[in-house]
Amino acid sequence: MSPQPPQPTAAAKARPVRQRFSVNLRRARKKAGISQAELGDRADMHRTEISLLERAGREPRLGTIVKVAAAIGVTPQSLCVGMTWDVEGQRFKTSRN
């Protein structure tokens, strides 16, 4: 009997979501013509937190998504485009836009 391969951790399953969110956030911020520092000021967050989100270094909480969306002038949904949850496979699915 061969050993079972290790199952991906919750963090590994979430990684594509962070990457998809980071692309969406960076695109929206640049379209709005504002810097990370300006977005941080508008969202009452530090510039380094914005940088972490744009580099997929941190998974955003719901409140963070709402704050940065409002600060950019987009919907929270637009920052989550390309992300879905596969109920049967118990994993996130992402698509490129």
The CATH architecture assigned to 10-94 reads Orthogonal Bundle (1.10)
Domain spans of the chain, in order of start: 10-94
Find how far residue 17's CA is from the centre of its chain: 6
DSSP result, the chain: -PPPPPPPPHHHHHHHHHHHHHHHHHHHHHHHT--HHHHHHHHT--HHHHHHHHTT-SPPPHHHHHHHHHHHTS-HHHHTTTEEEETTTTEEEE---
What's the pTM value of the predicted model, to 2 decimals? 0.81
pLDDT higher than threshold 70 for residue 53: yes
Q: CA angle 94-37-16, nearest 5°?
A: 15
State pLDDT tens for residues 29-38. 999 999 999 9
| Residue 32 one-letter amino acid | A
